[in-house]
Structures are given as structure tokens and as C-alpha cells.
């Protein structure tokens, strides 16, 4: 039977009261209300919402509403211990009965949580997919289900179930048991980044074909995208941080563990507080570094892609990639960790020819089936096309996720249109050289040697193989090495050259080479910048300007005092500072300068429990100034 208008109204009132009283927010944003109403009513859902868009509330509010209606516990499947800890800590701060079960707990602690679970004393329980699908855990769910106390399943980071997702995890595949075993229990799958193919895979693998799909805009307008050609990656990174993000928190992604360690060390030597994070570190040290990063006001985390999923730190002002990722989904997910608070943030990446070669090599050396490798090549080519693009970055990113948009005015290409040059002749020289070397020696050579031949550089290898006698030797002497590397990058990206990883990354002509050699396809490239420089349209921004742009001097003093108090409380509770109050909430308090608990009411982020717990303390901090 379809719900009546009266039932719809009551449901809306219920979820609004939870939003305001528990979480301290006045209004829903985007599609949150529609999603929550659908799920509270018992519907299945696939939710695609960008990082920082409020995904967590989309299952937390239904969980609370359904628990109040007597439906029992919501099980949240989450892949990371750190995320569980922070989410549960934040829910406790808001007065919600929540818990997690993971390997960080002792047997006694886990047993106590399981007893609370069976007695219906938990509203939200977080657990990893590996635990949820064990026989023992399923037996406990059976018991809850038989008593009508199994309310809902929320599968977070749902892209992990898809072989086409950027972070495929086989253990997610076993979650089909939830539909097979509990077909009447509502399920929702949530993710921040998934193209149409990945979404289709999620629906099929989780048996959510009948679920309602909520696909939000992927746009993060507060993030500025900048992609630069790599020539001195560390120097470029230091300049970027020093000129635009001194004293602020950020994440730097590197391809290898060794590079992570080296970059973190160099940043520290240059006076930038930095920590490493990768799978090769001791688990305790990894956790310690993550906790320090989450708690710090100014810290740079240098990491492999092992770090980041589920990181809720709102004040990450930049995400930098020192090496090109594998695909746009990974890139977008990682850059989305910047600016979760909605304030201006940067996504900065430098890339070079070696990045392309290394990523191609990893694809070819993988044990995946050829069909899957072809898909990976296509995704890499799309990311490379984004890097080489001369038009709006954001338009291309959103187009990849099936969303039309207009030039954003907030990416490097929009802010400063790149100068172009005609690389057609250079491309034909390079392709001809690859062809003639193959004819002469019946073997291939790598990018560096091809460039040496075209530029007429006499080396031991050139002499040894007789390449001074080639008709193309020295024909490109007027081109710089960087220019020719740029041409080679584009030739690889458009399928005119292929890399053989089984033969020392040598180059061979590919299908698209013929039309270029015939002069039928022009090659237009970005003009390489000589050195990194401060952007004339972009002044250096300080942490103070970023954090509280609308506050006068007394307001700023209040803001600083509140942040100091919050840091003390966070250390006492062993939680990140933003779990106590977000910066935006502290700014609003500093702006209003309340003198009573009544004055605090209505400030975004202060629910009833936080008002009871911290209201008097906040007033005391302000009164002492």
C-alpha cells in the first residue's frame, strides 16, 4: 500500500527533527532529504554523492529514525578501521548509540559489543566486509532478524565491489549474501566516484537492480585543478606548498613507498611538518601517523594510495600528486579529500613521460585478462588526455562521469589559457626514427634514446648501433628535450606509439602512427613552462585568511581561543578536533559572540547533545577573553 500524505509529512518531520536536534543542522543539502525519506520508508538505494557532500547523514539519519520506530540496528559495512573509529566517535558526541567491531579490539571488548548488539542497544554498528560475511557474525544477524531487530544495511565505499572501480576489493563480492539471506531488509550502497560502468557493476554484484538510484552532481566547485609538466617534482612541490599553502594541512600522493619516505624526509628538512604513510610501515606507526595528521592543524601526509579512503578531515587545503594515478576515478576520489569543508582547496598534479611508461608497464605486467587490461588502458588514456588538455579540466572530469557542464573559471586552463605550439613535424620525426631504428636493428629502443637520435646527440649507444647514419639523426636539433618528451607523451596517449614492458619499455609504432606520418592528423601541444612561478592572478593565501575570512580582529581572537579549547578537548577524548566541532561552527560562534546558551541555539553543527556537553565551556572560553 502506498504511504499517505499524512505519513509522508510525519516522516519528513521526524527526519528534520533528527537533523536539527542530533546533528545541529537546519536544512538538508542537495538530494539528502529525498534519499533519507526513501530509505526510512524501507527502500533500497544506490547513492552517488561527491566527497564532502554529506553521504554519512544519508544512512545515519535513516538508522536513527528506523531505530526509534522499533526496527533495530543498522549495520554499516566500512573497509577501514580509522573511518569506523572516527564515525563512531562523532556519533557518540552527537548522543547516538553506535559501535564498531574490528581487529583493533580485544576479545573482551568485541564480546561486550556483541552482547549489546543482541540486546538491541546499538543503533549503528560498523564492521568490515570480511567480518560481516563470517558464519559467526551472520548467526548473530540471523538472531536479530528473527526478532525484527535488523533494520538496514549501508554499504559504504561501494565502488570496491566492482572490478571496474578504482579500488576493487574481492571481499566486497561476498556481500551478496546479505540480499540472499535477508531479502526483506533494506540495503543502500554509497560511493563518491563511479562511472556508468562501475555503477552498473555495483547494482549487479550487490543484487540491487531494483534499487532507486540517486546520482548527484560530482562537481566540487571549491576545488581548483592544476596539472603541470614534471621536470623537478620535489622542487615544484616545495614551491607549490611554500607559495600557496604554507602552514596548512595537505596530502601528497606518491607511487612508491620509497618515494613516500624520501619526500616526507625532504619536506621535514625544509621546515614543513610531514609524515609518511604506506603499507610497508609498521601498523602501529601507520595508525599513529594517521592520528597525528587528523588531529593537527598544520600537517602534510605523504602517502601511497593506501591512505585516504574514509578520511573525514575537513580542513585539508590541498591534495598533490607527484606521480600520475591509474585512472580518473582514483584521481577524483583522492583529490576529493581536499576542501571537505567547502572552502577553497587545490588539486595539484605534476606528471611526465615516465609516469605514462610506468603505468603502461604495470598494466601489461598484471595477471589480468586481456579484456580487463584493455579497459585499464582506456582509463589511463582518458586520464592522460585530461593531463594534456588545453580546455577546462572540470568540464572533462564531469563529462567522464556523465555530467555536462560549462567552463568553470577555476582551473589552471580557465584561469590562464595555455600557449600552444604545432608539434606535427616533431611527431613525424619521432615516429620516423622509431620506424627506421626498427628496420635497421630489428630491435626497439626507449624514449631517451629516440630523443637523442632526433636531437643529434652523439652517445655511446648511438655510435654502437650505427644511428648516426639514420636520415632522421639530428633533424630535430632545434627542439628541446622537454618539448620532444611532451610530443612522445601525446603520441603514446593517442595510440600512435606503444610501449613494450617486456622489452625494457621500448617503443614501437601503433595503429594511429600512419595518419600522423602522412600529415593527416595535426599534433597541437601545450607550451612547456620553463620554471614554476607564482600565479599573477593568485595571491599567497595564509591559514588565517582561509580559516576565518569574515571575522574582524576580536572575532579572530575568539576563533583562535575556541580552536585552542577544541584541541584540548579532542586530545582528552582521543578524537580528531573536527569531530568535536568543525571550523565552520567555531567561526559562526566567534562571529555571533554568544553570551548565553540561548544565543548558541541555531548555530550549525550544535545539536542537543553537544549543547549539553560543551555549551557552558564555550561560553566560559569566550567570557575569559
pTM of the model: 0.81
Please report how the helices 553-573 and 608-623 are oriented relative to each other, as an axis angle in degrees rounded to 10. 130
Condensed to tens digits (0 to 9), the pLDDT of residues 454-471 reads: 999 999 999 999 999 999
**398 and 294 in a common domain:** yes
pLDDT grade for 350, boundaries at 50, 70 and 90: very high
Pairing of strands 187-191, 150-155: parallel
**449 and 407 in a common domain:** no
CB burial of residue 117 (10 Å; 0-12, 13-18, 19+): buried
Pairing of strands 212-215, 150-155: unpaired
**425 and 413 in a common domain:** no
Task: Please name the residues in contact with 501: beta carbons below 8 A apart, sequence gap of 6 or more.
Answer: 360, 361, 364, 365
Q: Which of 418, 434, 462 is the last residue of a domain?
A: 418
Rounded Cα distance, 496 and 519, in Å: 13
Condensed to tens digits (0 to 9), the pLDDT of residues 368-381 reads: 888 888 888 888 88
Examine residue 260 and state whether it is found in any structural domain, yes or no: yes
Distances, alpha carbon 79 to alpha carbons 58, 131, 156, 157, 307, in Å: 18, 10, 8, 8, 12
Cα 264 from chain centroid? 20
Q: Which residues are 76's β-sheet partners?
A: 126, 154
Contact present, 148 and 185 (Cβ < 8 Å): no
SS3 594: coil
Judge whether residue 1 has pLDDT over 50.
Answer: no
Cα 73 from chain centroid? 29
Q: Quick one: pLDDT at residue 50?
A: 84
CA atoms within 13 A on the CB side of 394: 22
Condensed to tens digits (0 to 9), the pLDDT of residues 193-227 reads: 788 888 999 999 999 999 999 998 889 999 999 99
Rounded Cα distance, 497 and 357, in Å: 11
**295 and 166 in a common domain:** no
pLDDT grade for 537, boundaries at 50, 70 and 90: very low
Count of domains for the chain: 4
Average pLDDT taken over every residue of the chain = 88
Q: Quick one: pLDDT at residue 528?
A: 64
**568 and 471 in a common domain:** no
SS3 533: coil
Q: Quick one: pLDDT at residue 529?
A: 54
- C-alpha cell recorded at residue 114: 556483541
Q: Which residues are 224's β-sheet partners?
A: 346
| Straight-line distance from the first to the last Cα atom of the chain, in angstroms, rounded to the nearest whole number | 60
Please report how the helices 370-388 and 393-400 are oriented relative to each other, as an axis angle in degrees rounded to 10. 160
128 against 533, higher pLDDT: 128
> What's the angle, vertex CA 466, arms to CA 462 and CA 467, rounded to 5?
55
- Residue given cell 639514420 in the structure block: 470
Examine residue 314 and state whether it is found in any structural domain, yes or no: yes
Q: What's the chain's Rg over C-alpha atoms?
A: 27
Q: Quick one: pLDDT at residue 549?
A: 64
**86 and 54 in a common domain:** yes
Examine residue 11 and state whether it is found in any structural domain, yes or no: yes
- C-alpha cell recorded at residue 446: 626507449
Q: Which of 358, 392, 418 is the last residue of a domain?
A: 418
Q: Quick one: pLDDT at residue 536?
A: 37
**578 and 502 in a common domain:** no
Judge whether residue 506 has pLDDT over 90.
Answer: no
Q: Which of 164, 184, 215 is the last residue of a domain?
A: 215
- C-alpha cell recorded at residue 146: 528473527
What is the arithmetic mean of pLDDT over 176-187?
95
Q: Which residues are 150's β-sheet partners?
A: 73
Judge whether residue 530 has pLDDT over 80.
Answer: no
Judge whether residue 3 has pLDDT over 80.
Answer: no
168 against 542, higher pLDDT: 168
- Show the domain range for 354: 223-418
Task: Please name the residues in contact with 213: beta carbons below 8 A apart, sequence gap of 6 or more.
Answer: 45, 46, 48, 199, 203
Rounded Cα distance, 588 and 442, in Å: 71
> Could you count the other beta carbons within 10 Å of the beta carbon of residue 70?
10
Judge whether residue 67 has pLDDT over 50.
Answer: yes
DSSP 348-402: EEEE-HHHHHHHHHHHHHS---HHHHHHHHHHHHHHHHHHH--S-HHHHHHHHTT
**245 and 281 in a common domain:** yes
Cα 345 from chain centroid? 13
Q: Which long-range contacts (C-beta less than 8 Å, at least 24 apart) are formed by 112-119?
A: 114/140, 117/73, 117/144, 118/143, 118/144
**299 and 206 in a common domain:** no
Judge whether residue 295 has pLDDT over 90.
Answer: no
Q: What is the CATH number of the domain that holds 506?
A: 1.10.10.10
CB burial of residue 536 (10 Å; 0-12, 13-18, 19+): exposed
Judge whether residue 618 has pLDDT over 90.
Answer: yes
Examine residue 534 and state whether it is found in any structural domain, yes or no: no
Rounded Cα distance, 123 and 151, in Å: 9
Examine residue 532 and state whether it is found in any structural domain, yes or no: no
> What's the angle, vertex CA 69, arms to CA 63 and CA 74, rounded to 5?
25
Examine residue 542 and state whether it is found in any structural domain, yes or no: no
Condensed to tens digits (0 to 9), the pLDDT of residues 434-455 reads: 999 988 888 888 899 999 999 9
**572 and 463 in a common domain:** no
**270 and 248 in a common domain:** yes
Q: What is the CATH number of the domain that holds 336?
A: 3.40.50.300
SS3 223: strand
CB burial of residue 225 (10 Å; 0-12, 13-18, 19+): buried
> What's the angle, vertex CA 178, arms to CA 177 and CA 184, rounded to 5?
130
- C-alpha cell recorded at residue 517: 606520418
Examine residue 537 and state whether it is found in any structural domain, yes or no: no
Q: Quick one: pLDDT at residue 616?
A: 95
Rounded Cα distance, 507 and 13, in Å: 65
Rounded Cα distance, 229 and 486, in Å: 8
DSSP 280-297: TS-HHHHHHHHHHHHH-S
Examine residue 531 and state whether it is found in any structural domain, yes or no: no
Q: Quick one: pLDDT at residue 574?
A: 85
**187 and 55 in a common domain:** yes
Amino acid at each position: 500500500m502506498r504511504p499517505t500524505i499524512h505519513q509522508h509529512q510525519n516522516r519528513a518531520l521526524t527526519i528534520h527533527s533528527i537533523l536539527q536536534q542530533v546533528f545541529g543542522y537546519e536544512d538538508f543539502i542537495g538530494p539528502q532529504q529525498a534519499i533519507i525519506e526513501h530509505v526510512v520508508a524501507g527502500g533500497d538505494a544506490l547513492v552517488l554523492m561527491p566527497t564532502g557532500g554529506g553521504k554519512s547523514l544519508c544512512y545515519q539519519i535513516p538508522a536513527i529514525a528506523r531505530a526509534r520506530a522499533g526496527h533495530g540496528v543498522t549495520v554499516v559495512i566500512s573497509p577501514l578501521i580509522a573511518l569506523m573509529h572516527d564515525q563512531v566517535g562523532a556519533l557518540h558526541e552527537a548522543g547516538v548509540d553506535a559501535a564498531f567491531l574490528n581487529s583493533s579490539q580485544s576479545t573482551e571488548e568485541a564480546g561486550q559489543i556483541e552482547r549489546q548488539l543482541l540486546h538491541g542497544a546499538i543503533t549503528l554498528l560498523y564492521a568490515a566486509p570480511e567480518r560481516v560475511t563470517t558464519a559467526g557474525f551472520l548467526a548473530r544477524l540471523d538472531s536479530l532478524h528473527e526478532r525484527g531487530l535488523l533494520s538496514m544495511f549501508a554499504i559504504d565505499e561501494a565502488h570496491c565491489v566492482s572490478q571496474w572501480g578504482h579500488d576493487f576489493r574481492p571481499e566486497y563480492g561476498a556481500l551478496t549474501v546479505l540480499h540472499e539471506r535477508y531479502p526483506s531488509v533494506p540495503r543502500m550502497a554509497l560511493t563518491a566516484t563511479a562511472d556508468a560502468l562501475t555503477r552498473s557493476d555495483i547494482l549487479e554484484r550487490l543484487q540491487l537492480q531494483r534499487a532507486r538510484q540517486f546520482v548527484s552532481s560530482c562537481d566540487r566547485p571549491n576545488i581548483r585543478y592544476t596539472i603541470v609538466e614534471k621536470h623537478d617534482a620535489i622542487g615544484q612541490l616545495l614551491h607549490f606548498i611554500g607559495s600557496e599553502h604554507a602552514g596548512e594541512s595537505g596530502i601528497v600522493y606518491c607511487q612508491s613507498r620509497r618515494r613516500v619516505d624520501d619526500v616526507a624526509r625532504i619536506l621535514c628538512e625544509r621546515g614543513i611538518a610531514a609524515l609518511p604513510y604506506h603499507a610497508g610501515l609498521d601498523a602501529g606507526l601507520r595508525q599513529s601517523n594517521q592520528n597525528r595528521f587528523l588531529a593537527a592543524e598544520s600537517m602534510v601526509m605523504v602517502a601511497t594510495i593506501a591512505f585516504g579512503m574514509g578520511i573525514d578531515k575537513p580542513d585539508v587545503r590541498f591534495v598533490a600528486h607527484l606521480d600520475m594515478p591509474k585512472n580518473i576515478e582514483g584521481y577524483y576520489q583522492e583529490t576529493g579529500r581536499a576542501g571537505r569543508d567547502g572552502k577553497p582547496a587545490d588539486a595539484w598534479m605534476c606528471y611526465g613521460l615516465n609516469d605514462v611508461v610506468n603505468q603502461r608497464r604495470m598494466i601489461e605486467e598484471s595477471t589480468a585478462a586481456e579484456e580487463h587490461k584493455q579497459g585499464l588502458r582506456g582509463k589511463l588514456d582518458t586520464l592522460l588526455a585530461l593531463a594534456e588538455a588545453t580546455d577546462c579540466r572540470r568540464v572533462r572530469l564531469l563529462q567522464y562521469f556523465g555530467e555536462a557542464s560549462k567552463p568553470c573559471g577555476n582551473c589552471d586552463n580557465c584561469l590562464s589559457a595555455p600557449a600552444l605550439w604545432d608539434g606535427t613535424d616533431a611527431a613525424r620525426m619521432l615516429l620516423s626514427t622509431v620506424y627506421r631504428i626498427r628496420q635497421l636493428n630489428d630491435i626497439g629502443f626507449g624514449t631517451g634514446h629516440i630523443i637523442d637520435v632526433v636531437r643529434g646527440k652523439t652517445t655511446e649507444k648511438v655510435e654502437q648501433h650505427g644511428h648516426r647514419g639514420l636520415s632522421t639523426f639530428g633533424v630535430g636539433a632545434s627542439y628541446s628535450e622537454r618539448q620532444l618528451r611532451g610530443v612522445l607523451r601525446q603520441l603514446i596517449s593517442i595510440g600512435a606509439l606503444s610501449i613494450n614492458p617486456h622489452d625494457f619499455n621500448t617503443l614501437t609504432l601503433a595503429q594511429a602512427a600512419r595518419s600522423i606520418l602522412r600529415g593527416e592528423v595535426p599534433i597541437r601541444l601545450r607550451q612547456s613552462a620553463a620554471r614554476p612561478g607564482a600565479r599573477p592572478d593568485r595571491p599567497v593565501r595564509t591559514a588565517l585568511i582561509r580559516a576565518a575570512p569574515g571575522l574582524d580582529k576580536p572575532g579572530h581572537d575568539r576563533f583562535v581561543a575556541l580552536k585552542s579549547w577544541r584541541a584540548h578537548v579532542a586530545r582528552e577524548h582521543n578524537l580528531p578536533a573536527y569531530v568535536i566541532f568543525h571550523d565552520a561552527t567555531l567561526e559562526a560562534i566567534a562571529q555571533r559572540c554568544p553570551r548565553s546558551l540561548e544565543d548558541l541555539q541555531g548555530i550549525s553543527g550544535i545539536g542537543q547533545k553537544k549543547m549539553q556537553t560543551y555549551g557552558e565551556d564555550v561560553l566560559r572560553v569566550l567570557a575569559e577573553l
